[in-house]
Each structure stands twice: as structure tokens, then as C-alpha cells.
Amino acid sequence: MPRTVHLAVYDTLADWETGHATAWLARSGFTVRTVGTAADKPVTTIAGTRILTDLSLDDLRPEDSAMLILPGADLWDAGDDLAPFAAAARRFLDAGVPVAAICGATAGLAREGLLDDRAHTSAVSFYLAATGYAGGEHYVDTDAVTDGDLITAGPTEPVAFAREVLGKLGAFDGAKLDAWYRLFHDSDPAAFEELNA
């Protein structure tokens, strides 16, 4: 399996949503590369942080990746500018390569038809219902959902999102994954020792 994870980046990206996942993937030996509409083109996050893209979306190939991570962004609800990223998610899922989407990116996947037949979550069910998608019966009101190769989460659940990503890619498993989650979600001091044992 490739050890490169691709993080989609675009203007208005929600900074807080993928930091736990990407940082701990990197600490676990994965390489995180940014992918945008064009290589070497900077994007500006909601916080005003500028990120330089490593790779163009046109050059992104599922076979070169362990996972595609799609953060939320205001642009997911402001038109079709990010639709090419949802189309890339389709290519990844069709190739059997995992996709993880949080917040507004779940609406992009809904518009692409990728949530019609998969268990999923988001901010709230009526947010996705507003897209006109056909997957409402598969909506699960929980922190994060993994269905096969697809992970979804709402905007207030970056730690649960990261737990699913880290588990899916085997960065942590079993007791270590549980300890990681208890440390960062529950602030359980005992989990620190378990994680670093």
C-alpha cells in the first residue's frame, strides 16, 4: 500500500478539521501531500493561512495514494468550484482507495451521489438533505462513520474523524487507537502512558 496520503486544499479550507489526522499520520510514517487545482498554487484557509499545493488535481492518481482527505470549506456550499474534488473522490472509491470527508466536503460527496448507498454522517441530516441527494435513509447521527472505504464526519468532530482515519490506515489499532482517542477526545491522562508504552 502506498504510504502517501493526499490532503485536498482549497480556499476557505477549515483549518481545524484535519490537523489531528494529518499530524498523526505523518508521525506514523505517512507522507502527507497537498493537492489543489494547480501545483504550486497557494490557497488561503479560513484562518488566513496560506498553503502551497504539492500536486495538481489533474495529476492525482488513486494508485499513488493511501487515502484522499477532503476538509470542509465555505466553497463547498458556494457553487461548483470544488466539484472536481468530489469527482476525484469517486475515482478513488471506484479504485478501492479510501476517502475521508468532513463537514462541507460531505455535501460535495452527496451532490456527487457517493452517499446514496453508504452509511454516512455530517453536520446534521437536513444539511445533506438540502443537496437533494438520495441517501437520507443511510444517514447516521453520530460523530464519525466508516462504511467500507468511505469515512465521514461533521465539523465539530475532528478527533473522531482522525480516529477513523488513523484506524483505517493502520497508523494505530486496538488499544493504541483507543488510548489515542481517550487522550485527545476525553483528556484522559492515563491514556498518555498507554499511547507511549
DSSP state string for 122-154? -S-HHHHHTTT-S-GGGB--SSEEEETTEEEE-
162 in catalytic set? no
Q: What mean pLDDT comes out for the span 71-82?
A: 95
Q: Which domains does the chain have, with CATH numbers?
A: 4-172 (3.40.50.880)
Of 13, 73, 93, 103, the catalytic one is: 103
Residue 130: pLDDT band with limits 50, 70, 90: very high
pLDDT above 80 (res 179): yes
pLDDT value of residue 40? 86
> Within its chain, how far is the Cα of 3 from the centroid?
16
**Tell me: the pLDDT tens digits for 18-74?**
999 999 999 999 999 999 999 888 999 999 999 999 999 999 999 999 999 999 999
Q: What mean pLDDT comes out for the span 79-88?
A: 96
- Match 489533474 to its residue by C-alpha cell: 58
- From CA 101, how far away is CA 165, in angstroms rounded? 10
Written as nine digits, the cell of 135 is: 441517501
Query: Which of 102, 118, 106, 197 minimizes the C-alpha distance to 159?
Result: 102
Q: Which residues contact 142 (CB under 8 A, 6 or more apart)?
A: 121
Q: Which residues contact 41 (CB under 8 A, 6 or more apart)?
A: 52, 53
